[in-house]
Amino acid sequence: MFSFTVDKSSPIPYYYQIEEWIRGQIASGQLKPGDMLTNEIQLSEQLGVSRMTVRQALNNLSSEGILTRQRSKVTSIAPPRSPVPISRDRLNSMTEELLKEGKKLYSRVLAQELQPAIGEIQADLGLQAGKKVIMVRRLRGTDNCPLTIETVYHPYDRFPELLTMDLENASIYEILENKYRARPVEAIDTIVAGIATEDEAALLEIQKGMPVMHFKRVAWDAGHLAIELTRAVYRADRYQFVIRYHRSASSEN
């Protein structure tokens, strides 16, 4: 692993040279997901640079999700991010999208309850005052690694059975389509960067303050009725959103 030497005559910062070296080791397969790196002190001695320089390089790679760093534990190569493709021609659930990528999604129900539709929830779902929604909050992940905290709201009057159904490892989109003949055909997705709260960090098994992505979706069925409001918090170190565009050959310039 230590065939690398920091070029101290180069104008390129030392920390950046170390980052690129580690990237190269991963790209070549010399370092694989789960492999442990030498600790900061040993790395700084072996590379002939300060511990602060090594720490900056490792922290930068960690913030990009390339490395995993936890307190009282050594640094390791992070698993590859799970892609979440966003297709323009069809609205799919997370379960459907990850299955297409060959990954199996697990879910753990954190809450499943009836709530009054107020504020943004009422407005986004287009509900009248006094109406109720079913709130389902689930922790979801792949390969025994938590990836997202997902909170979904559905109109109770239209989908009452969702309140008591077993949603532990179910696709709600499949339930809506198979039981209610309701499937989202139009949606607005919003993605905003943020940092993990203490509660979010505990559930996602990351450190408080680490980067996360806040995702919001409002979806409508073919009758232009809102059937879903989703708010989710994704681990930024394990997820990447991939947007697929398609333009037919017959489209004009």
Chain length of the chain? 253
Residue 250 covered by a domain: no
Distance of alpha carbon 215 from alpha carbon 226, whole angstroms: 17
Q: How many domains does the structure of the chain reveal? A: 2
Residue 115 shares a structural domain with residue 196:
yes
Residue 98 shares a structural domain with residue 43:
no
Whole-number pLDDT of residue 175: 92
- The H or E element containing residue 228 is strand 226-235
Residue 233 shares a structural domain with residue 113:
yes
Residue-number span of the structural domain to which 24 is assigned: 14-77
Burial class (CB in 10 A: 0-12, 13-18, 19+), 192: exposed
Residue 221 shares a structural domain with residue 107:
yes
Residue 70 shares a structural domain with residue 110:
no
Residue 167 covered by a domain: yes
Residue 70 shares a structural domain with residue 139:
no
Residue 109 shares a structural domain with residue 231:
yes
Give pLDDT < 70 ranges for the chain: 1-2, 64, 70-74, 81-103, 241-253
pTM (predicted TM-score): 0.65
- Strands, DSSP E only, in 55-163? 67-68, 76-77, 82-87, 105-116, 132-142, 145-155
Distance of alpha carbon 133 from alpha carbon 180, whole angstroms: 16
Point out the domain boundary residue: 59, 77, 95.
77
CATH of the domain at 19: 1.10.10.10
pLDDT in tens, 54-107: 999 988 887 767 888 766 556 888 777 665 555 544 455 655 566 666 667 788
Whole-number pLDDT of residue 90: 47
Residue 158 shares a structural domain with residue 218:
yes
Point out the domain boundary residue: 26, 53, 77.
77
Whole-number pLDDT of residue 150: 92
Whole-number pLDDT of residue 123: 87
Who's near 35: CB < 8 A, 6+ residues apart?
Answer: 76, 77
Residue 52 shares a structural domain with residue 86:
no
